[in-house]
A and B are shown apart, each in its own frame.
Chain A
């Protein structure tokens, strides 16, 4: 069931459009990620939903009710800020109880519910500490507990993990996802980190220059990008230009096969590294390319190869588990292959 709807949200700063007609809907209990590079309008969109900024045009509906004219304190939306914005003069428990107090919850119940919220995020032992006595990750969890304690209609998270180091970020990302699912909060999550968006969200809205470039499941967005921007921003790929001709793309003197190509016209082609195989002698593929290894980066689970081919430089991931990657050296010839259905193309 649709819970939150944005209709044509538009906002400009001093004549410069920042958000241009953003429309989307979020199902009850699901998590939507607003993904995009900095300056794409994702945070402004979130702030409009929270009521911290007024849209120039458009509406925000919660369960079909128009909340656009409401001030933020009347919206009942839990917000986790990028900087957490914890009240430095209050203990963790007081921070969490603040929203309950503002909503007129009696003292005893307030204390109980704040303690519950802190327990939910695993900070029951730190209730009496001030924010400056807590680590970054702990502060982040207090901020989450504070936003959840008021049992908000919608939970809004603005880059909540960006201030943390990589390891902690991954831990907290699954923890937050688990908490969000447990309380069933309809959530909107702003991030510029595509891995975070793909890992946590039920739906991803990729934003580009104030507009939604694509709205879909993480897999849709990754495997079936609808624009070159989405293909470029989400995940890595080999990327080259060519001409459609007789059911194939002519590029660098090669014919690249793809599904559903038009008869003629310029096209832009993308191939995800994880779809590309290294062909052994005698192996065949619908698309095969001979090339030379230009560079090898060991990253742990995979080694990332850069291969120079007639269509340009192509990234390939090679599993490291069998140790075979160690035999490869820059300058060696290599043969790559992928299926025609794995060729992503856009009419240029």
Chain B
């Protein structure tokens, strides 16, 4: 058996799993999106693009698309801004607490979505810790949950651990000697960071941002649990159509639309970062 054949053979389990767990459901989804829902809510088996046409003609679809993109891009950016110094510190520290800190940084992954939201309510609620502190210094109540602000905070927090991990993985090849070299050549620490370290971490930054963006745009738990019914994004619309109004064709069509949107964005990102690297 040639080396090449062996390589293909080794990929088979993963390919089989991918087919079973992703491609097959996607095919079902694509088929479902071509059905229709009658006025009475009944599922009608047919082959038509009526569901897509209805979605495309509804201004709300475009509003939700815009809101989803803005929300996800914003959360990805803030998650990155928060994660970057943390990841850089974790990468550099020689402290014996390093592992503990690393675990703390990704701890949110270990808590269920619901548990996290209950925690956030205690912190961000109208009677929560933040508002109690604001009242104590004579400031008025800030609405920090059950609105877009709450979703931005919750979503940023929930994607940040992934961003930290992506950055840490990307920092792997960063040579600490480079900043020392810059220092011996007369660069002040901040200057050395901006001229040497930062440019070298750009690929990690770009990958981390994309990961955060993809996770944020497909998240439905946080917008659903922290939005107070005021936040409509693609993922919550899909969830509602699938489980509340039982309009499966609409849920499927929206899913396909979201998938295509993501693929286009990822291709654009790939092209841009390849161009930047060249």
A88 sits at the interface (CB 8 A): yes
Given A87-B196, A89-B199: A50 touches B184 (CB 8 Å cut-off):
yes
Q: Is the interface of B mostly helix, strand, loop or mixed?
A: helix
* B223: min CB distance to chain A, Å: 38
Does B177 contact A102, Cβ atoms closer than 8 Å?
Answer: no
* B197: min CB distance to chain A, Å: 10
Contact of B185 among A51, A83, A89, A98 (CB under 8 A): A98
Given A83-B175, A85-B177, A87-B178: A78 touches B184 (CB 8 Å cut-off):
yes
In the complex, A72→B179 CA distance in Å? Answer: 11
Does B187 contact A73, Cβ atoms closer than 8 Å?
Answer: yes
Q: Which residue of B lies closest to A99 (CB)?
A: B185
Does A102 contact B187, Cβ atoms closer than 8 Å?
Answer: yes
Does A75 contact B178, Cβ atoms closer than 8 Å?
Answer: no
Within 8 Å CB of B178, what residues of A? 85, 87
Within 8 Å CB of B215, what residues of A? none
Given A81-B180, A83-B177, A85-B177: A99 touches B200 (CB 8 Å cut-off):
no
Given A87-B196, A89-B199: A103 touches B181 (CB 8 Å cut-off):
no
A71 sits at the interface (CB 8 A): yes
How many chain B residues have a CB neighbour from A under 8 Å? 19
Within 8 Å CB of B185, what residues of A? 73, 78, 98-99, 102, 146-147, 150
In the complex, A103→B188 CA distance in Å? Answer: 10
Within 8 Å CB of A102, what residues of B? 182, 185-187, 191
Does B184 contact A77, Cβ atoms closer than 8 Å?
Answer: yes
In the complex, A98→B194 CA distance in Å? Answer: 13
| Residue interface mask A89-104, B partner, CB < 8 A = 1 | 1000000001100110
Q: Which residue of A lies closest to B181 (CB)?
A: A85
Q: Which residue of A lies closest to B184 (CB)?
A: A79
A224 sits at the interface (CB 8 A): no
Q: Which residue of B lies closest to A77 (CB)?
A: B184
A28 sits at the interface (CB 8 A): no
Does B182 contact A75, Cβ atoms closer than 8 Å?
Answer: no
Within 8 Å CB of B188, what residues of A? 73
Within 8 Å CB of A164, what residues of B? none
Q: Which residue of A lies closest to B180 (CB)?
A: A52
In the complex, A51→B180 CA distance in Å? Answer: 10
A339 sits at the interface (CB 8 A): no
Q: Which residue of A lies closest to B176 (CB)?
A: A85
Does B181 contact A79, Cβ atoms closer than 8 Å?
Answer: yes
Contact of B186 among A83, A86, A150 (CB under 8 A): A150
Within 8 Å CB of B195, what residues of A? 98
In the complex, A72→B186 CA distance in Å? Answer: 7
Within 8 Å CB of B191, what residues of A? 102
Within 8 Å CB of B183, what residues of A? 51-52, 71-73
A173 sits at the interface (CB 8 A): no
In the complex, A72→B184 CA distance in Å? Answer: 5
Within 8 Å CB of A89, what residues of B? 199-200
Within 8 Å CB of B177, what residues of A? 81, 83, 85
A313 sits at the interface (CB 8 A): no
In the complex, A173→B196 CA distance in Å? Answer: 29
Within 8 Å CB of A51, what residues of B? 183-184
User: B residues touching A (Cβ–Cβ < 8 Å)?
Assistant: 175, 177-178, 180-189, 191-192, 195-196, 199-200
Sample (21) of A-B pairs whose CB atoms are under 8 Å apart: A51-B183, A51-B184, A73-B184, A73-B186, A75-B184, A78-B184, A78-B185, A81-B180, A81-B181, A83-B175, A85-B177, A87-B182, A87-B196, A89-B200, A98-B182, A99-B185, A102-B186, A102-B187, A146-B181, A146-B185, A147-B185
Besides A72-B184, A73-B184, A81-B181, 7 new A-B residue pairs in contact (Cβ under 8 A), listed by A number: A50-B180, A78-B184, A85-B175, A85-B178, A98-B185, A98-B195, A146-B185
